[in-house]
Amino acid sequence: MTRLILTLSSMYTLSLIGCGDNDASKIDEDNDGIAQSQDCDDNDKFLGAISENADCDAALTEEDCDDNDPLSTFIADDADCDGLITEDDCDDNDPTKNDIPDLDCDGLSEVNGDCDDNDPDSTTELNDADCDGVVTEDDCDDNDEDSTTTENDADCDGLIQDADCNDGDPNANARIDDRDCDGVLTEEDCDDNDPSVGSNATDGDCDGTPVGNDCDDTDPNSLTQTEDLDCDGIIDENDLDYDNDGICDGAENMNLVEDDLDCDGIINDDDLDDDNDGFCDSEEHSNLVENDSDCDGVLNTYDTDQDGDGFCDASGLEILEDQDCDGILNDDDGDVDGDGQCDNFPTFQSEDADCDGVVQANDCDDNDPNSLATLIDIDCDGILNVNDPDSDGDGICDTSGTSAADDTDCDGILNIDDLDSDGDDLCDDSGSAISEDQDCDGHLTAEDCNDLDAQSTYLTIDTDCDGISDEQDLDDDGDGICDNGSLDINEDLDCDGILNEDDLDADGNGSCDESPGLNLANDNDCDGIPAEEDCDDQDSNSLTSATDLDCDGILNEDDPDADGDENCDDSGLPVAGDLDCDGLSNSVDPDSDGDGICDSSGFSTLEDQDCDGVSAVDEDGNPLDCDDNDPASYTSSEDLDCDGILDEDDLDVDGNNICDEAGTSLFSDADCDGSVALDSVGNVVDCDDNDPNISPSATEIYDDGLDQDCDGVDATTITESELLYGELVISEIMHNPELVDDKYGEWFELYNTTSDRINLNGLIISDPNGSITIDEDVFIEGRSYFVVAARDEQTTYPLPQIDYSPFHKTVVSSGLSLDNTSSLTVTNSQGTQIDSVSWSYTILGWPDCISDEDASLGVSLSLTVLDADQNDDSLHWIEASSSYGLGELGTPGTENDFLRVGANVEVGDVIISEVMVNGLNTNGVNDANEKWFEVHNTTSDIINLKGFTIDSPVPSPDPLPGFSIEDDFFVEPLGYAVFAEIRNSELVGDSTTYTYNRVTELSIEGTDTLRLFNAQGTIVDEISYQFTGTTGWSAAPGESMSLQQLDETSNDELQAWCISTDSYGTNGNIGSPGSENSSCSPTDPNFGFNQ
């Protein structure tokens, strides 16, 4: 447009010239010093002369690729002047490289072998004939873009590694034909889930025993040759001739079986039981051998010689010497023949064991013929009754009734008190005759003050026998007069010459009579106070040093200077400086003289104890001074609850123990941060209940040594060099944006699997095209996501989160380019690989990352299991379903869209929750086309049932095959999906319904079993039911049976099902297909089975 304007301007100038001066060589309209005839534009002083710019195109001749063509390019924009500007020219220094279209500047175009002319890293037809992105040497069939690769099919047999029993052997079986990969096809394998179990060709009855070792390979219950060598049905350990050679087995017995039938080493003729049937062979005696060992017809119980060797079994004596085998030789035996009757007396041995003629009841020892009879020795102690003081042996003396153990001579005096305990008339201790020393004290009667009292004195030491020895007796002659004077001993008990009433120690024992614990030596005034503790030991009324330390006559409790050192006892201050000795010097004592009146305010200390001028309470008794003993304490107007905390800083101003803001109890939430210290069962909740900045809801501060959020650890920051495998996971990849160019729209996401913050400065991320190194401090929080974007182009391609950019090779020459078949590797600066993942939309199992609903939208790869080991498996990657930015699908920087697929769906994740066997059609008639059943997703994840198989294995033997779900079929978290006959008039067309053909695929009947298999062939749920009998379902036509307890265990119990109560459709059917089940209870008439 600029060039067009210049031309018009020139024409206008020429027209003006034609009207006036015709000498163009003299006209210079723009005053640039160039005549109009030589000027490119005489109205524009910035354009030069034609001699310097022949085509007048705003570029001087030396700057113009063709100065005769105003439309040619400029050298600044097209260095080789080949007509292509630099940014569109693969090599702007070579004008020959513009003759073929080469969009990616790799030297090839689509016409001469470039598989993708938009990707300089794409393969060529020379090394990738089918242009499937896999080079020839890695491609199993380089003429088939759908063929497998050596990466996922090493032996190129068309089976990917996970489906191939041996990916290194093209002749190996497929897992679908040989589940345990033991080389035996399923139909020929005795157990195709156990590789240790072989083929039925070598084990006909599939009992685990090969035919060569199986006695009968058509009978799984037959013995093996290992346990029954001759296959006679008797296991070898019980077989006397296990090799069937006619000779008894065993090195010790080589008899022929016909000569020794039971192979016990005894020839039949000598064998009492030659057939080993346990019975004596004799026709006369057919007792059991175990009951008659010598088969003599006498049972062992009664046979004294059970082995028939002529010797008694018990005693070992010869039967000729001990006829009755009782162990007593005949000469000593009272009953030799053992007939039970004594040989010499008419008694029986059962009542007279020693055969002494005295029966047991009257014999002291019926095993001793020399013992006495009880008639003459009642207690059988060997002493005749007439000589026995305790003849009946009851331990009581016959005459005195005392215990014989305590009164040996039975004289009625217990041994402990008996001076002659054995009754021999001699003193037990002294040996004196009792008649001469009656108290047995060793002093004869004539010399003893009292010969009936062993404790009494005797005349040689106690003249007056008053019990006091003469040497201690003040009146040893007993005349009543003190031996040393003339006073009556009753008036002067201690004979010290002082009458009793005047004597402090009247009895002369050296102790004060009124204070017997003290004596005159240490208590001269006998006032009960020792001399060393008595302020005056001559005055019984004086105080003690304990009660009057300085003996100044003032009790200690009343004496502020009890020790008399002129210093106050409590404060240590001189009494002169603390008059009332209250510990406060007079200068700071509000009541220095202790008179009860405050020195300064004049208030009574009873009303204002701390003399701060604030009374303890007002006239109505309400507190004014929070602590009337502390002049520094707050008033109640400053501290309402007087807890020492100003109201403005107090968490509980009114002191009701309820946090003012949080509303929690101070007893359970001391810091009032809203988190209790312990839960109801005693588990710690708030790990520091004295700090409101610490609680489970607090924000963790990194690297401060504290655990603010009570997770047990301080949040720390670790560097990338400290990272270990799996601590960062590649969790989401947008490699194929559709709304903008890849260089703007590509991104990938990292997830921090640890609880620590990670500084990524120095982290290396690479793909086959290049790598980037994060060169600044950027952080990824614990359990958080981090987005790395191709460019920071928010206006071109807005992302909700960008944590680091750019990575794209169009900006960073050695950077990344997330191709549709590529990989990413994360490595720290120490060379440790943290995570890696490879993907390809051309490989079976990987999503194509184009929205199925809208092909104009790109979709990210979203990881469903945040684990470095799991993100290598395509099973754990799904297409994201959440929208972001311009509308493409992904979750950059936030939690991924989680989806369970294939083998990730486990037992109980999907269950059969409702069954309609007898649905009504539009005419209200039971119709097979109206059958359906419902499944329920018990998890919090979306489940894709693609790959699931559903069948009904009954009736047998030829049930319908069931069906497999070949397309995506999603069940929302805790949601429901319905499977219905394709001609079901009520349900077909509903987005939550999957249709099947009841004629060729599946038909549910009144008595049936339904099974759900996941993509790996695992049964995730199964139910069996019937509508007949007392244990059958009771639903009528048009009524479904609805599961009440939604788990895989309960739906096996008929009692967990009831008749639905909700209606649906227009045919009068009852049920809740595709929605929450109606509820009922065991008391509901609709509940359970037929009653």
| Successive 10-residue mean pLDDT values, the chain, 1091 residues | 30 33 66 82 76 81 84 81 79 70 75 79 81 86 84 85 86 84 82 77 78 81 80 79 78 73 76 75 73 77 78 82 82 78 82 82 81 82 81 84 83 82 82 82 81 78 79 77 78 77 73 72 76 77 79 81 81 80 80 80 78 79 80 82 85 87 86 86 87 88 87 88 96 93 93 94 96 96 94 77 91 91 96 96 81 88 88 85 91 83 80 92 87 91 87 74 85 89 82 82 87 91 79 81 82 82 91 88 44 32
At residue 2, the pLDDT reads 30
- Per the CB < 8 A criterion, the answer to whether 329 and 336 are in contact is no
- Per the CB < 8 A criterion, the answer to whether 778 and 765 are in contact is no
862 conformational bin, left if phi > 0, alpha if psi -120 to 50, beta if neither? beta
| DSSP-derived 3-state class of residue 1024 | strand
- DSSP secondary structure, 613-676, as one string: S--SB-TTS-B-BS-TT-TTSPBTTTSTT-SSS-GGG-SSTT-SSB-TTT--BTTT-TT-SS--
Tell me the two tokens of residue 616: 């303890």
At residue 1082, the pLDDT reads 46
Taking Cα atoms as reference points, which of 955, 965, 971 lies closest to residue 912?
A: 971
Domains of the chain in sequence order: 1-51 (no CATH), 590-650 (no CATH), 717-897 (2.60.40.1260), 904-1070 (2.60.40.1260)
At residue 903, the pLDDT reads 60
Report how far residue 915's alpha carbon sits from residue 63's, in angstroms, rounded to the nearest whole number: 84
Tell me the two tokens of residue 300: 């062992």
Q: Is the peptide bond before 516 cis (omega within 30 degrees of 0)?
A: no
| DSSP-derived 3-state class of residue 348 | strand
Report how far residue 198's alpha carbon sits from residue 194's, in angstroms, rounded to the nearest whole number: 9
At residue 859, the pLDDT reads 93
CB neighbourhood size of 488 (10 A): 11
3-state secondary structure 753-822: CCCCEEECCCCEEEECCEEEECCCCCEECCCCEEEEECCCCCCCCCCCCCCECCCECCCCCCCECCCCEE
Taking Cα atoms as reference points, which of 843, 842, 832, 839 lies closest to residue 862?
A: 839
CB neighbourhood size of 243 (10 A): 11
At residue 428, the pLDDT reads 80
Q: Is the peptide bond before 957 cis (omega within 30 degrees of 0)?
A: yes
Cα-atom radius of gyration of the chain, to the nearest Å? 61
Residue linked to tokens 């016990």: 264
At residue 601, the pLDDT reads 75
At residue 958, the pLDDT reads 57
At residue 1028, the pLDDT reads 64
pLDDT digits (tens, 9 = 90+) for 857-914: 999 999 988 889 988 888 788 888 889 999 999 999 998 877 666 567 889 999 999 9
Report how far residue 358's alpha carbon sits from residue 351's, in angstroms, rounded to the nearest whole number: 9
At residue 4, the pLDDT reads 30
Report how far residue 1002's alpha carbon sits from residue 992's, in angstroms, rounded to the nearest whole number: 19
Residue linked to tokens 């001559």: 538
| DSSP-derived 3-state class of residue 445 | helix
